[in-house]
Amino acid sequence: MLRSLLIVLLLLTAGTTTAAEKQFTILFLGDSLTEGLGLDSGQAFPELIGKRLQAAGRSDIKVINGGVSGSTSASALSRLQWYVRAKPDLVVLSLGANDGLRGLPVAELRTHLTETIEFARKSGLKLALAGMMIPPNYGTDYTANFAKVFPELAQLYQLPFLPFLLEGVAANPALNQGDGIHPNAEGAKIVADHVYTFLAPLLPVK
């Protein structure tokens, strides 16, 4: 009897381990736009994507919200080095907005993102890049040079590329909070739909 019970427990443990090993993990590495600053718990776009996946029966996919408010591209590498322990299967890198809003050198943005992309490749992590744009009041040259960094790196490293994270939401007062920068609950839903559509071809087939 005892032997039979031990065998059953071993089989159950093996089954749990196998299920955990098969879970596909998506890490969203970003700033306050990813974290969901100003939104209620569960309203940030990564959480909305997670809920949509669960509703679609994709319990085999796990979502990690790695957004940190106020972070710039300078934090990308160290944060990804920390998250490696979670063994993400796909990293969605969406940093740079704060670099632009603070007028930080575009060359530094490019360097930080490049270092992060190269670390991901060396670590065997699949990485997708989300582009960002900033208002034109920062000057025509700076705004244009800033926006070019993302598609150029995506092309150079052959990365899945989402041209603009806030497509259809940016500059729309009805979809943003009072600061005009962070999406409100309705805006976050649009961002989630936009990102979900982008991610769909990158997810494992069930």
Q: What is the pLDDT of residue 206?
A: 83
Q: Which one of 4, 41, 141, 179 is the catalytic residue?
A: 179
More confident of the two residues 3 and 36: 36
Q: How confident is the model over 63-81, as pLDDT tens digits?
A: 999 999 999 999 999 999 9
Question: pTM of the predicted model, to two decimals?
Answer: 0.89
Q: Which one of 32, 71, 73, 94 is the catalytic residue?
A: 32
Instruction: Tell the CATH topology of 24-202.
Output: Rossmann fold (3.40.50)
Q: Which one of 31, 73, 182, 194 is the catalytic residue?
A: 182
What DSSP string runs through the chain? -HHHHHHHHHHHHHHHHHHHHH-EEEEEEESHHHHTTTSPTT-SHHHHHHHHHHHTT-TTEEEEEEE-TT--GGGHHHHHHHHGGG--SEEEEE--HHHHHTT--HHHHHHHHHHHHHHHHHTT-EEEEE-----GGG-HHHHHHHHHHHHHHHHHTT--EES-TTTTTTT-GGGB-TTSSSB-HHHHHHHHHHHHHHHGGGSPP-
Q: How confident is the model at residue 197 (pLDDT cuts 50, 70, 90)?
A: very high
Active site residue 112: no
Active site residue 31: no
Active site residue 32: yes
Model confidence at 88: pLDDT above 90 = yes
Model confidence at 138: pLDDT above 70 = yes
Q: What is the pLDDT of residue 16?
A: 45
Segments making up each domain of the chain, as ranges: 24-202
